Structures are given as structure tokens and as C-alpha cells.
Copies of this chain bind each other. A is one copy, B any other.
């Protein structure tokens, strides 16, 4: 190993270490511990104070892939003060808890077990009063797991409606508007069920922009959409006649005013409601930046909200490394440039890969032959596409090494086969499932 190889190896080790720091910062259990603490019978959360002596019961509810470890942290912090609770988590994502019942259910396609768990949560909340505090835990997957079709609507009705909307190209915002109006829980209705109890929501965000209205379809935040909007969406896409009869019936009744609307901003249901984002992509990037600074790098966070086609965004990101090297913009090396979010991959072949691995492959092609640069992209959930890798790491020598093995990078990119590109190079990042998800982290390290 010559001197240059050692440097590269150091850069790679640092990149992986910075990525691990990002993951640690958004570990669901750690995240709750970081934001919640009890001091002399007062629960302190981000400057808010809950006097525990004024509550008879603390109820813990929630839905999402990461809420079991979040609930474990709540039990550790509040101990016997937790009176009861119920969660819906994805199959295999449960944990043994003391007072909180954990329902495992199907994800991403919802099932009746999810419905049963959600109905238990609603029942628990409907029995809550002024002297109860509800702690509501939300994380990625909550929309499919916290599922309770409105009266008269079956789960298959709801699913058929969603499929019709997807098929005609409705936006996720439009689909959520419909979901909220076919549900008993979404669009602020969990908060309404809990009223007059106060609801403290602790949220681990897996959506670009951390929009509280979008995470889990916003069960504890006001909804701005209406039955009239849902009718407009069905008409706009010309599918009104094709959706299930019970859905048409419910929307018609809703438009007439014969059914209660979801609670709107200013609704008393939200008195005493508070939302705290305990984990987000920005939080992961901030931890990564701090870790990089400790290792001696100047750091810069560009955005936690990146979207776009992975291979194209990667090219633009790689261009920043070249500028760091040639003109010291935007940072003088040693430099760590961080972005995050969720890119997309338009599949172009029958290969195997994920958006992070494809990002690194395209970026490595832009950085071919350039010394002193490392590019990393990884999913914070530890899973990138249908592979066992979280992402990949590459440097300016990666493409040369692949070519020496007889691999054509363009061909691998062309058929979206990034997994099989990085596997023989030993450049995959394998973390195993992390049980958290705040989207992806993209990192450039430039050595001095």
C-alpha cells in the first residue's frame, strides 16, 4: 500500500465513521432519550413542560416501523407513570414492552391486523380525559400501519381507491387528501379522538421536508383538505364512476355536510397538542457534520430535502468535489459536504441495486481518476432497494479498479445494476436493518 492508497483508505474510513455517527443520531430509542427527560415530576421536551402531578394517566400510542424502540425509551424515561398504550408496527419490528401492547401488521400493504391495532388505539383515546396525557409516536410506515377505514368503508374499498389514484398519476398530496377522508385516524382524527386529553407527538420523519401533515397522513395535526376536494380529485382524473360504491356514497354524504369533516386548523381538538420532531434527515446530517469536524474536516450541509433522479443528482454533487479541489469553493479541503433526502431511480434494465448504490456509481464515473475524494451514499434504514446493502462508497480509483476486473461501468449503470458493480469491489455498505428511517445521506469527503 503506497502513501496515496493509505490516504484514500483513511478518507474511506472517515466516511464510514461519519455515516455511522449519522445513523446513531437518528436511532429511534436514542432520539427519544435525547429529547425527553423527567426532572422533579416535570416532563421536559424541547422547552415544553408537562407537570406530571397534574396527570392521572399517561397513554402511549403510535404507528410506524420505528415506534417500538421509541416506546421502549418512553417506558424507560417515564417508568410506571405509563398506564397503558398500543402501537402498530411492521411485522418483525416489535419489542417486548411493559404496559404498551404491540400489534404487528403488514407493511407496505395494510391488513386487518393493522385495522385491529388502530381500532384499539382509537378506543383507548376515546376514553381519555382532561387528566390524561397522550404520547403519540409516529415514524415512517405509519400511513399503512395506522389504518382504520371510516364507517361503511372496507379495507379492500380503500385499497382499490388508492390503486385507481396511483394508476391515473395522482400526486401523493392528492392521495393523502382522499385517505384522510376515508379514515377514522388520519388527518387530525387521532387528536380529535383523544380530546380533551393533550397529545404530545414525537415524530421520526421519513419524508422530504418533514411535513407533519404528510408523516403518517398527519393523525394529530389539522387537515386543510375537505370532502369537496376529494370529489374534485376523483372528477379531475375522471375515475368517479370507477371507484367502489361505498367510497362514492361516503364522499357524496360528506360533500352534503352529512358527515363530520376532518378537524381543521383552530379546531379545539388541537388544544394542548404539540409536535416534536425527534429525528429527521437534517438531524442525521447535523450529527454527520459534527463527526466530520471532530475528524478535522470543514463541513457544509447543503440540504436535507434533495429529490431527483439519482444518477443526475450524483453528477451535480460530484461537481462540487471537483470545485473543492480546484478552487476551494465552497470549502477549503479537508472538506465534508453533506446532503440528504430521497432520490429516485427510473429503472433502465433488469439489474439489481438501489438509489444510493446507483448514486455512488454515477458519481464515481464523474470522479474517475481524481485523487483525494470519497463519495458515499447510504439509506439510514440500512436497506437500499431490494438488496442487503445500505449504499456504497467510492473514490477516484473505483472506476479504474472495476475496469481492471473487466467491468464496464456504463453498462452497469445502464441496466441499473449498481449492486453487482460494487459487490466484487467490496464497496457496499452493509449495516443490516437499522430500525430507523430518515431517508438517505449523501457525503463527499475531500482530503487536504
Given known A319-B341, A341-B319, contact A330–B301 (CB-CB < 8 A): yes
Closest to A307 in B: B315
Contact call A329/B303, Cβ cutoff below 8 A: yes
Number of copies: 2
* A283-313 Cβ-contact flags toward B at 8 Å (1 or 0): 0010000000000000011111111110011
Roughly how many angstroms separate A247 CA and B445 CA in the complex, as a whole number? Answer: 45
Known: A301-B330, A329-B303. A315 touches B323 (CB 8 A): no
- Judge if A244 is at the interface, Cβ distance under 8 Å: no
Chain B residues with Cβ under 8 A from A356's Cβ?
A: none
A2 within 8 A of B: no
A129 at interface by CB-CB < 8 Å: no
Among residues of B, the one whose C-beta sits closest to the C-beta of A442 is B316
Closest-CB distance, A12 to chain B (whole angstroms) = 23
Return A192 CB to nearest CB of chain B, in Å.
27
Q: Which residue of B lies closest to A280 (CB)?
A: B327
Contact between A303 and B315, CB atoms less than 8 A apart: no
Contact B308 A313 (CB under 8 A): yes
Cα A283 to Cα B308 in complex, Å, equals 28
A31 at interface, CB cutoff 8 A: no
A307 contacts B366, CB within 8 Å? yes
Is A320 part of the contact surface with B, judged by Cβ < 8 Å? yes
- A320's nearest neighbour on chain B, judged by CB, is B303
A-B pairs, top 4 by smallest CB distance, nearest first, are: A312-B312, A308-B315, A303-B323, A308-B312
22 A-B pairs, CB-CB below 8 angstroms?
A209-B326, A282-B327, A285-B329, A300-B329, A301-B329, A302-B302, A303-B319, A303-B323, A303-B329, A303-B330, A304-B327, A306-B319, A308-B312, A308-B314, A308-B315, A309-B309, A309-B312, A312-B313, A313-B316, A319-B339, A319-B341, A330-B330
